[in-house]
Structure 1
């Protein structure tokens, strides 16, 4: 029987999703397994690597079983994973720590110290902005605060590397995940010596960097039997979820911009060689050996809307449940009753600090412009608009860095919201293309595997199978309103860092006093 399906595994922050695709992008199986994010202290966001590994095994096993039941076979398995995770193992590969995730903020001070020193020079070579998300700053924190653990660590790796080690007993890392560590030289495609010295680790303590299309074979008979796979099934190491999402929405040609909002958000585009921003506002991560993704992530996307639902309007959840609908539907309906601009109420959505384009972990959420005329519905809409103001600020940084947008493609959970899509369309003053793709990072991983197997010549071939529709065009009146508000929003964001730092110090002191 022909082996005709690609299985793509996306190791995310809150769950692992595994899907089986054919060459037309059709889905034959889909399984998701959730797991907790641990926060032993307010600034710590960790995952249990074994829980992630078990989720990978469970979802892959279930998808493999479903594929066989449908009379199909698996040609390859490919991977997507969240960036910036870091964990320690000893010389026998045993865990010494949980995984510190991208959302972990414990290295705020280390990041600020590095910024004041040689951080920018390291960024210019590695493409990873200096920020607590970066494994580079996490390593500096570990060296300073956990010296005994630091000394006995044999390898520092990411979650995907841990999964591959468990499956194949090898420490390998794809160029994409490596390029998001702050330790990887983009031009030389190897570990950066100055970054290593700054972190206090050696190249031998990190995994072997390989291309994103690297194929690894040789599952043990035990693993092969448990997973329902042939032991020589090719495993494509794959890339990070961010760069693969660009493939998944078809934004892989010059000037095509991917706009994604899930829990967080990002603006990204593909370029033909590594490119960094002299002002340090954007990232540059590897996709393939001759394609790179530049852009910027925001911390607060859908999580801001969830905060509105859970913290500001819990009563609406009860009302929506009584009507048999989602609380988000009720919130969106209320936001839709308010005109663009929310009556001049601005929201800076910095509830969990912020990354691009300011890279300041101390930023805080702000409602600005409140008057007696504003009600709850204005606040709901201003939160949705605030996320898009921040996305716009990242897009602005990209254009100032030389990117000439040709089209914008929207994906992620927000793309299911007609109102939110229209807000972005009006804010960006351009048509918004909405690809009807499912799980963009998974589809991107599958398509990367097809290139690795020589099933396709070029990643851009995915555009042939994506169903896309220009669903939104700008509304002139709304465009005018946002033109009035955008410069105010940007000035606010630039003027408040000193106050953000001051209130963060107070919050940390109050938190310490109540421990």
Structure 2
């Protein structure tokens, strides 16, 4: 495995665990035993904001009990907008996960046919001619390119570019980030031969080659959403040469030839196709059952989103949303907010809730008219205003406002932000049959999902199984490896019904929120 030997991976601490896999939480969970799993099997890897994960799935997208592993991590953040993570650290995490899940287990030889990976989007790592990282991995939450974003907006018609790429101009995307790098990190830019997403970097280090999946390329804001190729117009604005970016691979174009060292380390992967990386938002949508226009999936994880997978290329995109090309026939339409779980955790930590009171208690409390309005933009705002440098704001704080009031206001602010996305999504996708909510906040603080149902005035279904993102990554690979096998229906539990008696509360709160929001956007 020559590509990895250039920098020895620190996997000694997990080597012992390769033969002692983590146990399943419960034999009744959404899973199947290896003996009953439907071949071909797929190893799914996921790099999120808080951890790297891996698990084995069968051809129906069902997790196989006992074959999963997780390595926690966190972004390095600073008040100037910095949000980064060490790319080599993530490579080590993923290699250790494969050690733990696959290892040298003989019972998997001949059965694992795919290795698929998703990562948070968007991400960016520079590499030199020796495949070494020249930069940290810049994450979607890094907002230091705010001045360059403002400059870009002065130069171009943003609405025109949105229809070209499917993305607005924002600090999450790469045009302003490349400009920021050129102005602030000139030595780094000079040393870099190629720029990769985090998933591509993993393949580059492991396999010695990498291609950008269409969905990952779409999340850069540099892809022509109609042709599926890099946009010359966007490359010109980003001031980056096409030769410094990877070739784009459709979901049907995996990497087939891998170094012998990889096969020596993991013999069970000898027949595996390595699929180009996809974005975690797409994976979560598919994993939760949102595979067509009948379902909107609301993500309530560290960040949040509302998305619908459409089997077409929309002609016109509402100004507040994005539309990411997935392949020749499908696009993911929706909007995202940076801070959901991050905001809930921040509120619980910062406002010092009384002993015995947690976020679940706060979410379940009765509605009140005297609470502040909170705009939960701790790491900038995306949909629908796209103010990358936005800061959180609280309106209506009085002497009697307590920590529990502020924590509840944060939750209501999250719901209102998602509601703004839902309004524009309805305009573009029309009414859908169902709305499914997934992610850690939905499962751990279910009262927030009830607040969402009340605000939207429609039922929301709770996806109760964990690791839907991993499952979606496996399902996307299974579409290629076993197109004749249908994915299993994703389990769901509770349906939250809207309570009409609270309609007045949300109408009044929305007016107050919109007043603060308009001032934020205007500034």
Tell me which interval the TM-score lies in, with the shorter structure as reference length: 0.7 to 0.9
Aligned length: 483
Q: Return closer, same or farther for 1:343/1:495 CA change in 2, 3 Å cut-off.
A: same
> Which of 466, 476, 479 is the equivalent residue of 1:438?
466
Who is 2:156 aligned against?
118
| Cα displacement (A) at 1:335 | 4.5
Residues 1:218 and 2:257 aligned together: yes
Question: Does residue 521 of structure 2 align to residue 497 of structure 1?
Answer: yes
Shift of residue 435, structure 1, vs aligned partner:
2.3
- The equivalent of 2:319 in structure 1 is 280
Instruction: Tell me, in whole angstroms, the C-alpha distance in 2 between the residues paired with 1:446 and 1:296.
Output: 24
Contact kept in structure 1, 2:293 and 2:429, CA below 8 Å = no
Residue 56 of structure 1 corresponds to which residue in structure 2? 94
Q: 1:127 to 1:133 in 2, by over 3 A?
A: same
| Deviation (angstroms), 1:344 | 4.5
Distance 1:262 1:158, change over 3 A: same
- Displacement, 1:92? 2.6
TM-score w.r.t. length of structure 1: 0.88
1:143-180 residue CA offsets vs partner (Å, 9 max, x unmatched): 22223332342111111111111222223100000011
Q: Does the alignment pair 1:33 with 2:71? A: yes
Deviation at 1:364, TM superposition (A): 2.0
Identify which of 415, 418, 423 aligns with 2:451. Answer: 423
- Bigger mean CA offset, 22-31 vs 238-247: 22-31
Distance in 1 between residues matched to 2:475 and 2:317, nearest whole Å: 33
In the alignment, is residue 136 of structure 1 matched against residue 175 of structure 2? yes
Equivalent position of 2:273 in the other structure: 234
Residue in 2 aligned with 1:330?
A: 358
Counterpart pick for 1:193 among 207, 210, 232:
232
Pairwise mapping of residues 237-316 of structure 1 onto structure 2 (< 5 A)? Answer: 237-275=276-314, 280-313=319-352, 316=354
In 2, Cα distance between equivalents of 1:79 and 1:484? 43
**Residue 9 of structure 2 aligns with which residue?**
none
In the other structure, the counterpart of 1:482 is: 506
Give 1:207 shift. Answer: 0.2
Query: Which segment drifts farther, 448-457 or 263-272?
Result: 448-457
Please list the CA deviations of residues 402-460 of structure 1 after superposition, one character each: whole Å capped at 9, or x if unmatched.
53333211000111123111111111111111223321111001111111102446xxx
Matched with 1:74 is 112
Q: Does 1:92 align with 2:130?
A: yes
RMSD: 2.3
Matched, 1:209 2:248: yes
- Give the match for residue 24 of structure 2: none
Task: Name 2:391's counterpart in structure 1.
Answer: 364
Displacement of 1:49 in angstroms is: 1.1
- Given that 2:166 and 2:317 are in contact with CA atoms closer than 8 Å, whether structure 1 keeps it comes out as no
Runs of 5+ consecutive residues of structure 1 not aligned to the other structure: 321-328, 502-515
Cα deviation for residue 200 of structure 1 reads 1.6
Question: 2-side partners of 1:341 and 1:492: how far apart?
Answer: 19
**Higher RCO (Cα < 8 Å, 6 or more apart):** 2
* Residue among 210, 213, 222 paired with 1:174: 213
Return 5+ residue gaps in structure 2 as ranges.
Answer: 1-34
Report the Cα offset of residue 64 of structure 1.
0.6
Q: Quote how far apart the aligned CAs of 1:465 are.
A: 2.4
Partner of 2:420: 393
Q: Which residue is equivalent to 2:54?
A: 18
Contact 1:217 1:231 in 2 (8 A): no
1:321-379 C-alpha deviation (Å, 9 max, x unpaired): xxxxxxxx633224433x22553532111122111101102322222233455433322
Q: Is the 8 A contact 2:44 2:471 kept in 1?
A: yes
Compute the TM-score of the two structures, normalised by the length of structure 2: 0.86
Find the residue that maps to 1:185 and give its secondary structure. coil
**Separation (CA, whole Å) in 1 of partners of 2:368 and 2:330:** 38
Is contact 1:78–1:236 with CA below 8 Å preserved after alignment? Answer: yes
Residues 27/491 of structure 1: CA separation in 2 closer, same or farther (3 Å cut): farther
In terms of mean alpha carbon deviation, does 67-76 or 210-219 score higher? 67-76
Q: Would the aligned equivalents of 1:219 and 1:232 in 2 still touch at CA under 8 Å?
A: no
CA contact (8 A) 2:109 2:268 kept: no
Is the Cα–Cα contact under 8 Å of residues 213 and 448 in structure 1 kept in the other structure? no
Cα distance in 2 for residues equivalent to 1:376 and 1:36: 26
- Structure with the bigger percentage of helix: 1
Greater Cα shift, 350-359 or 212-221: 212-221
Secondary structure at the counterpart of residue 292 of structure 2: coil
